[in-house]
């Protein structure tokens, strides 16, 4: 370096050239080294020569100053020039666009007497590079209208603008122009087209462009891998990567980062570890920030938080992406304390970090903590996103807190969400609002949100159908389902669960059967275990117990405790002790330590006065060590939740509560109501007079066993 500067100094100090070409070469050297200091020294020497007023060398000086970042020097020289040519204008124009001074560039462009191809390209690329995509396309269209032939620079910038705007229609039109040009087989144009189609979500078009390329390079392969990684199916990204290797192309850090991200989406830990092994063996990629972030994220999403932490701790440089991946990883592993600690220690946080921790709390049932974190976010003036509100509303729904849900709704309205599908879709916020209101029992509010949504998807319809069904509005749920079909939206498995539950609650047996069989016949949906459970519940409630039993026995999957439990409950309601005994045996084979079947069967025997069978069932419970969980209920009054357990005497107002219950019971008796033995749950928790005879028998039996 010292030798180069010595020669440079000697060369500049001793100049007496016949033309300005050597000065031009020296300025080229300044551009390569980005040395503004050397450019100024050469300029000072040029001023003392006969070339100081030469347009050629002045243009080269403007270009050198611009590329060295010295806008003021370039602009002063430009303003002082008595004569300018198109290259002069283009030099200052290029400087302004590269530095992001787009408004200044527009003024210069408008003053140009004769803009050429290079001038138009500078405007198209300048706008695209600084995310002014609409303006970039506007200048591209004007370029074409002025009968200039677009080249690889204008095509590339225009495609980049289409990708940024997700403007598929315009991208297809530009593709058509490229296909008719000499750049149709250019490898860089092919890569730019793949990237544009990828960003616009048109995977099939991206694949067709790739398949039609005569020549490919690493960028082409990377573009297609990224296309599948971002749009899915992610498994295709791995397959393209394998083909790339088979074709002899060496992956770079971008290739590996995309493939690792695909592994994260697929939870493909084995393949991710193989890529990690390749990274470790390559010195050039081992400390790459983007690649290391992808690896941390992959291990975190695969719930291998120890491996993620090992990579994280070994990174020479970390950023907010690295730390956010660790927060998310800890949260998904239910280590929310570790996630909060990592979050607290972050030097820089963004909304993604906040969302990751809030989501972690809601996913792990710590909804109060999620709400508290949202309040902290607001206090720190962090702007929430639709993901923030989605998690916030889920927390309110889980807490069944209508007041908090309405407050969250106010925040949603203040942030101007439109509930639409688009580049930044926020439709799921509207869906979360419907779900929250329905779970909180506010049907009218849920309907109002649904009615006012600008757009709806199948989740919106599902939220209404399931919400109505959960709240006992079976007829209304089926009416919404009919409107959903009329709108052209196709039902999915969740839709049909809501429909079948609605039929069950409304007692519509024939309609339930029709909808159940229409799943495969009309909608191409294979019934799952949950759908069979709904049908068993529907038939059981209606007293069609044998039909329910037959349906269970022909199920294509093994029936679980939920299905048998539903039928056992129906047997109790309809007092079918024979079938109840059969179902109870099936249920106890699956879950021998679950107290539910024992209690139901015991109550059925008690209803029929078969006290010996009651004793036998309860004896079996004790022998197997089965303990009945005490009954629990709760009620919220003025924001305070009151919880009640069987025989719990801790409530401060228990005397007043028992007094009111006694008055209510006396009024019920005067109205002709008499307690049923099974309503009192005939087990050792109750010693009321109505079951005295039962307990005398029980005590005698216990004594005999002792």
More confident residue, 601 or 523: 523
Q: For residues 116 and 602, give the distance between their C-alpha atoms in angstroms, rounded to a whole number.
A: 93
The mean per-residue pLDDT over the stretch 350-373 comes to 92
pLDDT-based confidence at residue 31 (cuts at 50, 70, 90): confident
Contacts of residue 315, defined as CB under 8 A and 6 or more positions apart, other chains included, come to 287, 289, 292, 296, 322
Both tokens assigned to 552: 């269970």
Both tokens assigned to 611: 């006290």
The mean per-residue pLDDT over the stretch 186-201 comes to 94
The mean per-residue pLDDT over the stretch 477-496 comes to 94
**pLDDT tens sequence across 226-251:** 999 999 899 999 999 999 999 999 99
**pLDDT tens sequence across 34-65:** 777 877 787 777 777 767 777 777 778 877 87
pTM for this prediction: 0.70
| Predicted pLDDT of residue 683 | 42
Q: Where are the beta strands (DSSP E) in 416-504?
A: none
DSSP assignment letter at 286: T
| Predicted pLDDT of residue 624 | 79
Q: How far apart are the first and last CA of the chain?
A: 101
Cα 152 to the center of its chain, rounded Å? 36
Contact 608, 576 (CB under 8 A): no
Contacts of residue 247, defined as CB under 8 A and 6 or more positions apart, other chains included, come to 216
Domain ranges of the chain: 528-629, 630-661
pLDDT-based confidence at residue 501 (cuts at 50, 70, 90): very high
Residue ranges in 380-425 assigned as alpha helix (H): 386-399, 402-414
Contacts of residue 624, defined as CB under 8 A and 6 or more positions apart, other chains included, come to 592, 593
Looking at every residue in the chain, the average pLDDT score rounds to 85
Cα 100 to the center of its chain, rounded Å? 33
**Of 71, 78, 86, 169, residue with least CA distance to 120:** 86
Percent over 90 (pLDDT), the chain: 49
For 607, the enclosing helix (H) or strand (E) is: helix 595-607
Contacts of residue 186, defined as CB under 8 A and 6 or more positions apart, other chains included, come to 152
| Predicted pLDDT of residue 544 | 93
| Predicted pLDDT of residue 471 | 93
Q: For residues 409 and 434, give the distance between their C-alpha atoms in angstroms, rounded to a whole number.
A: 10
- Partner residues linked to 633 by β-bridges: 644
Instruction: Describe the crossing of helices 253-266 and 234-246 by its angle, rounded to 10 degrees.
Output: 140
Prior bond of 314 cis (ω within 30°): no
**pLDDT tens sequence across 549-569:** 999 999 999 988 889 988 988
pLDDT-based confidence at residue 309 (cuts at 50, 70, 90): very high
Percent over 70 (pLDDT), the chain: 91
**Of 52, 47, 200, residue with least CA distance to 133:** 200
Q: For residues 575 and 162, give the distance between their C-alpha atoms in angstroms, rounded to a whole number.
A: 69
DSSP assignment letter at 83: S
Query: In this model, does residue 689 exceed pLDDT 60?
Result: no
pLDDT-based confidence at residue 421 (cuts at 50, 70, 90): low
The mean per-residue pLDDT over the stretch 640-667 comes to 83
Q: For residues 195 and 292, give the distance between their C-alpha atoms in angstroms, rounded to a whole number.
A: 23
Q: For residues 255 and 241, give the distance between their C-alpha atoms in angstroms, rounded to a whole number.
A: 8
Q: Which fold has domain 528-629?
A: 1.25.40
Q: How many beta carbons lie within 10 A of that of residue 575, not counting itself?
A: 10
Helix, strand, coil fractions of the chain, as percent rounded to 5: 70, 0, 25
Q: What is the DSSP string of 494-539?
A: HHHHHHHHHHHHHT-HHHHHHHHHHHHHHS-----HHHHHHHHHHH
Contacts of residue 410, defined as CB under 8 A and 6 or more positions apart, other chains included, come to none
Q: For residues 119 and 40, give the distance between their C-alpha atoms in angstroms, rounded to a whole number.
A: 26
Q: What is the DSSP string of 104-126?
A: HHHHHHHH-SS--HHHHHHHHHH
SS3 230: helix
**pLDDT tens sequence across 99-119:** 888 888 889 899 888 888 888
CA 166 to each of CA 101, 129, 139, 159, 173: distance values in angstroms, whole numbers, following the listed order: 25, 16, 18, 10, 14
């Amino acid at each position: 370096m010292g030798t180069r500067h010595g020669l440079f100094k000697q060369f500049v100090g001793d100049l007496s050239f016949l033309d300005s070409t050597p000065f031009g070469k020296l300025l080229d050297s300044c551009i390569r080294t980005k040395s503004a200091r050397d450019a100024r020294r050469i300029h000072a020497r040029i001023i003392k020569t006969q070339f100081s007023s030469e347009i050629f060398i002045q243009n080269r000086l403007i270009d050198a100053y611009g590329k060295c970042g010295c806008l003021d020097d370039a602009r002063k020289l430009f303003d002082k020039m008595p004569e300018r040519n198109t290259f002069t204008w283009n030099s200052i124009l290029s400087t302004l666009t590269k530095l992001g001074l787009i408004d200044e560039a527009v003024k210069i462009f408008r003053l140009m007497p004769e803009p050429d191809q290079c001038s138009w390209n500078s405007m198209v690329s300048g706008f695209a590079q600084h995310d002014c995509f609409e303006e970039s396309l506007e200048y591209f269209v004007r370029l074409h209208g002025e009968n200039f032939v677009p080249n690889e620079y204008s095509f590339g910038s225009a495609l980049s603008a289409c990708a940024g705007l997700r403007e598929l229609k315009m991208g297809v039109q530009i593709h058509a122009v490229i296909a008719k040009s000499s750049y149709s087989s250019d490898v860089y144009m092919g890569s730019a087209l793949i990237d544009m189609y990828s960003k616009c979500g048109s995977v099939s078009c991206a694949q067709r462009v790739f398949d039609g390329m005569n020549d490919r390079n690493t960028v082409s392969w990377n573009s297609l891998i990224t296309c599948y990684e971002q749009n899915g199916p992610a498994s295709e990204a791995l397959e393209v990567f394998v083909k790339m290797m088979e074709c002899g192309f060496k992956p770079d850090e971008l290739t590996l980062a995309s493939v690792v991200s695909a592994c994260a989406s697929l939870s493909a830990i084995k393949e991710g570890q193989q890529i990690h092994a390749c990274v470790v063996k390559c010195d050039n990629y081992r400390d790459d920030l983007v690649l290391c972030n992808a690896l941390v994220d992959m291990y975190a999403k695969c719930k291998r938080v120890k491996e993620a932490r090992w990579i994280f701790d070994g990174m020479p440089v970390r950023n907010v992406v690295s730390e956010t991946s660790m927060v998310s990883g800890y949260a998904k592993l239910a280590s929310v304390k570790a996630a909060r600690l990592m979050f607290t220690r972050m030097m820089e946080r963004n909304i993604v970090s906040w969302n990751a921790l809030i989501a972690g709390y809601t996913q792990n049932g710590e909804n109060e903590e999620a709400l508290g974190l949202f309040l902290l976010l607001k206090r720190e003036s962090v702007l929430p996103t639709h993901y923030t509100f989605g998690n916030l509303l889920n927390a309110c729904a889980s807490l069944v807190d209508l007041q908090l849900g309405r407050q969250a709704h106010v925040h949603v309205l203040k942030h101007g969400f439109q509930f639409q599908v688009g580049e930044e879709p926020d439709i799921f916020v509207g869906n979360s609002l419907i779900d929250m209101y329905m779970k909180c029992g506010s049907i009218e509010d849920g309907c109002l949100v649904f009615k006012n949504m600008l757009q709806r998807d199948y989740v919106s319809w599902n939220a209404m159908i399931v919400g109505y069904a959960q709240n006992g509005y079976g007829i209304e749920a089926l009416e919404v389902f009919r409107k959903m079909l009329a709108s052209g939206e196709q039902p999915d498995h969740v839709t049909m669960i809501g429909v079948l539950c609605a039929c069950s609650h409304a007692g519509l047996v024939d309609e339930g059967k029709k909808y159940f069989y229409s799943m495969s016949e009309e909608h191409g949906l294979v019934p799952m275990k949950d759908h069979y459970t709904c049908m068993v519940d529907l038939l059981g409630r209606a007293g069609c117990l044998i039909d329910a039993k037959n349906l269970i026995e022909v199920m294509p999957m093994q029936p679980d405790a939920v299905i048998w439990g539903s039928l056992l409950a129906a047997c109790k309601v309809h007092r079918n002790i024979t079938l109840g005994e059969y179902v109870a045996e099936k249920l106890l084979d699956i879950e021998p330590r679950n107290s539910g079947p024992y209690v139901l069967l015991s109550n059925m025997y008690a209803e029929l006065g078969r006290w010996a069978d009651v004793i036998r069932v309860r004896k079996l419970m004790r022998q197997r060590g089965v303990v009945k969980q005490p009954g629990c209920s709760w009620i919220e009054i003025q924001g305070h939740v009151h919880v009640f357990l069987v025989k719990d005497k801790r409530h401060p107002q228990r005397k007043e509560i028992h007094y009111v219950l006694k008055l209510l019971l006396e009024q019920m008796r005067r109205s002709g109501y008499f307690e049923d033995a099974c309503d009192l749950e005939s087990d050792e928790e109750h010693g009321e007079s109505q079951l005295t005879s039962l307990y005398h028998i029980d005590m005698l039996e216990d004594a005999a066993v002792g």
